[in-house]
């Protein structure tokens, strides 16, 4: 992406959402790494697969989620 002397504007809401996203992802990875010392590999695999199923419901949450509506 090349920007040629143009103003680059990001709404403050998007900046806060990006910072929140980075914090949540980083803390989740840190907790997963700490938990890997205490749990078995099979349990960690099931925990990571839970993200696939949980992501669907997270996208449909009307309050904290993206509030997507299935077609």
For 10-35, write each residue's pLDDT tens digit.
888 889 989 999 999 999 999 999 99
Residue showing tokens 């960690």: 44
pTM: 0.63
> Based on the domain organization, do 16 and 32 belong to the same domain?
yes
> Based on the domain organization, do 26 and 46 belong to the same domain?
no
Q: What is the DSSP letter of 36?
A: T
Q: What total number of domains does the chain contain?
A: 2
Q: What range does the domain containing 30 cover?
A: 10-39
pLDDT at 67: 66
> Based on the domain organization, do 46 and 29 belong to the same domain?
no
pLDDT tens digit string along 32-56?
999 999 999 999 999 999 988 888 8
Task: Establish if 5 belongs to a structural domain.
Answer: no
Map residue 43 onto helix, strand or coil. Answer: helix
Per-residue pLDDT at 1 exceeds 60? no
Map residue 67 onto helix, strand or coil. Answer: coil
pLDDT at 3: 60
């Amino acid at each position: 992406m090349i920007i040629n002397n143009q103003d680059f504007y990001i709404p403050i809401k998007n900046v806060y959402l990006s910072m929140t996203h980075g914090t949540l992802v980083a803390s989740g990875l840190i907790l997963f790494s700490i938990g890997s010392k205490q749990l078995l590999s099979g349990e960690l695999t099931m925990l990571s697969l839970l993200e696939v199923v949980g992501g669907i419901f997270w996208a449909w949450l009307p309050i904290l989620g993206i509030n997507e509506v299935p077609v």
